[in-house]
Chain A
Amino acid sequence: MNDGSLAALVALGAFHGLNPAMGWLFAVARGLQERSRALVLQSLPAIAAGHAASVGAVAVLVALTRSVVATQAVAIGGGALLVGFGLWRLLSQRHFRWVGMRISLWQLAGWSFLMSSAHGAGLMLLPVLTSSGTAPAGHDHGLTASGNALSTGIFVTAVHTLAMFAVAGAIAVAVYELVGLAVLRRAWFNLDRLWAAALITAGTLTLVLSF
């Protein structure tokens, strides 16, 4: 893990945190319903946990497969998947819905997990995951490699989620306390196409870096 990929992880985390559809808006809504800032703050860890689970699943999977399969194969397969997923997001008109307004923190975490997965949040980290650090050296097999891979996956997830959590949290509290909901009408930019473009870029990057 070099400085560049660390910065990329943080930047992607911030990008995910920025998206109202990734959770901060839900936190604000729950707080407003009960007129309680505590509820805003309570919701954020649940949302972050769901996001982490979604991203972590991809990160750990990539890290683990990389330790047993050639990096290039993972990168090409993953990159192709990512470009395809990005195109689907770009063209798809479907809107994700799983819950209603009155939900427990567990359901909120579950919602966040599904929302992040449906948006391909974890996949977007692929270029960082497949290019970061050095592939395990030839003689480094078995448990050690898996152990390293696992800790890399966890580290990546933690850094990314922390950045997402910080940005989403800051926005949620600012909107709840200072800005007010009226800002949604002016500043809720359509991130769908930007998001899809980011997925496709990440996929292309993964493919390019793997050759």
Chain B
Amino acid sequence: MALWKPDPTFYASPRDAVSAPPEGLAYVAAFDRAAEKPDAIAVLDVDPGSATYGDVVGWTDLPNLGDELHHFGWNACSSALCPYAPHPHVERRYLIVPGLRSSRIYVIDTKDDPTSPKIVKTLEPDELAKRAGYSRPHTVHCGPEGLYVTALGGADGEDGPGGIALLDHTSFEVLGRWEVDRGPQYFAYDAWWHIAHDVLVTSEWGTPSMIEDGVVGELLLGRKYGHALHFWDLRKRRHVQTVDLGDEHQMALELRPAHDPTKQYGFVGVVVSVEDLSASVWLWHRDGDSWAATKVISIPAEPAAADDLPPVIAPFGAVPPLVTDIDLSVDDQWLYVSCWGTGELKRYDVSDPFHPVEAGSVRIGGIVDRTPHPAQPDLPLAGGPQMVEVSRDGKRVYVTNSLYGAWDDQFYPDGVGAWMAKLDSTADGFTFDERFFPHGDAFRGLRPHQTRLQGGDASSDSYCYP
């Protein structure tokens, strides 16, 4: 049922959204690598005033095995206020939760019982395949005329191309393939937009055969994973331009466009350079009428003894940072960069996006370091900071430790474990909250991946008004 007034979690502009109240709950996708138990959405209490602060206070188990929950998103967000297709009276209440391995998509209602959300609809893989020609659904974004779901693979036995499927934002049915003209685009991963400029951007990982059994060394050294950005006309659904970052820069993943709708720039993280194992963050921006990308952050590999390294990287004698997620605060001032390999979460001041300035760093986990959380200094941690999510007011940063089942096993062969941490981020400091450290059995043996915050977060909403 539509609301009488706009959903209070919708904000016309990022300036307004920064004043949003703190979130009370966080939803975290958690999956069982062995596919013996159902994957689940874990609900965490993130209200510091609550007695169960930092605990998992609810679970929504899925009815199937082996979905591999990964990324997910809200059914509606601030883009519903966009003036050309306004529907401000829809509610932000459903989580759209794809199974990256199963290609199922679950719709989960958080409204009636926020700590125990209910599954209200399941889209089976053949619906995505039949109507859109895709599989392996990944990123979900709420647009003004529907839900955009990126998908890594093709359907009916085809490995690719991956692309975007559009879902109806009330019935959640698959409407079809988004692209009218995909040009040379074949690989898919993330997608987001400059919504006020009718521009969509997509990035590249690899097709299912390239990732599902782990990273393939020959493909990586052969520079076969994705290394380009694609720019699209969001209205006409046509490919406009490819910006190649250079084939040494393997796997261009998370896209974080500026929230300010008058701006046309954004950041993308590159996992690894095959030349020196460094990771990098690139800025895409306008260059005259076309698009360009500039490397603005480079993070070097750290030397390590071969004995301390898992087989996949032992020959290189160094641990790569592996930047696998980045997140930009709603005020576009702070960029958080996860180095999943070295076990470091870096913070950059990107007020001048062309010249990021490092402004804080914490260590936790890591292939070699195994840095413990300050709340439990005697417990070495596997995994590293991976999915990072920032609250709307920018003060709280949440991070989980699993990357992707098969890849966890390669880089942390003795077990990646399960943990989540929270950092307090102010102009002066960037430090762990020692009261917030759900780990181990708190996650029932499941591996935590993406976090979504109640009411929205820095990577959910987009805005049409400055």
Contact = CB atoms under 8 A, between A and B. Distances in A.
11 contacts: A29-B464, A29-B465, A32-B465, A33-B196, A95-B145, A101-B82, A182-B16, A185-B11, A188-B5, A188-B88, A189-B5
A2 interface: no
B49 to A, nearest CB: 25
Interface in A90-143: 93, 95-103, 111
Contacts of B8: 185
A184 B12 contact: yes
Interface stretch (A7-15, A20-28, A157-165, A202-210): A20-28
Nearest to B9: A185
Interface on chain B toward A: helix, strand, loop, or mixed SS? Answer: loop
A103 B198 CA distance: 10
Interface residues of A, number: 31
A192 to B, nearest CB: 7
Nearest to A183: B12
Given A21-B86, A185-B8, A101 B464 contact: yes
Interface residues of B, number: 36
Contact of B197 (A95, A101, A184, A186): A101
Interface string B180-213: 0000000000000001111000000000000000
Contact of A93 (B4, B16, B170, B262): B170
Interface in B1-54: 2-6, 8, 10-13, 16
Nearest to A191: B89
A50 B422 CA distance: 52
Contacts of B4: 189-190
B10 A185 contact: yes
Nearest to B234: A100
A101 B11 contact: no
Contacts, number: 87
Nearest to A182: B16
Contact of A192 (B83, B89, B262, B464): B89
A188 B83 contact: no
A32 B466 CA distance: 7
The 7 closest A-B pairs by CB, nearest first: A100-B198, A97-B85, A181-B12, A100-B235, A97-B145, A26-B83, A29-B83
B168 to A, nearest CB: 9
B121 to A, nearest CB: 15
A190 B81 CA distance: 12
Nearest to B85: A97
A96 B85 CA distance: 6
B84 A184 contact: no
Given A101-B197, A189-B4, A190-B89, A181 B465 contact: yes
Nearest to B261: A33
Interface string B70-87: 000000000001111111
Contacts of B89: 190, 192
A160 B433 CA distance: 61
A82 to B, nearest CB: 22
Interface of B: 2-6, 8, 10-13, 16, 81-89, 144-145, 169-171, 195-198, 234-235, 261-262, 464-466
B16 A181 contact: yes
B108 to A, nearest CB: 20
Given A93-B170, A97-B144, A181-B465, A25 B86 contact: yes
Nearest to A98: B84
A20 B198 CA distance: 21
Contacts of B5: 185-190
A100 B16 contact: no
Given A181-B16, A184-B81, A101 B86 contact: no
A182 B196 CA distance: 18
Contacts of B465: 28-29, 32-33, 181
Interface string A65-89: 0000000000000000000000000
B12 A20 contact: no
A95 B84 CA distance: 10
B5 to A, nearest CB: 6
Nearest to B4: A190
Nearest to A95: B87
Contacts of B13: 181
Nearest to A115: B84
A101 to B, nearest CB: 5
B16 A102 contact: no
Contacts of A103: 84
Contacts of B12: 181-182, 184-185
A32 B83 CA distance: 12
Contacts of A96: 85
Nearest to B11: A185
Nearest to B197: A102
B84 A26 contact: yes
Contacts of A29: 82-83, 464-465
A101 B84 CA distance: 7
A185 B198 contact: no
Nearest to A103: B84
Contacts of B87: 95
Chain B CB within 10 Å — which of A25, A28, A101, A188 has the most? Answer: A101
A111 B6 contact: no
A111 B84 contact: yes
A51 to B, nearest CB: 15
Contact of A33 (B10, B169, B262): B262
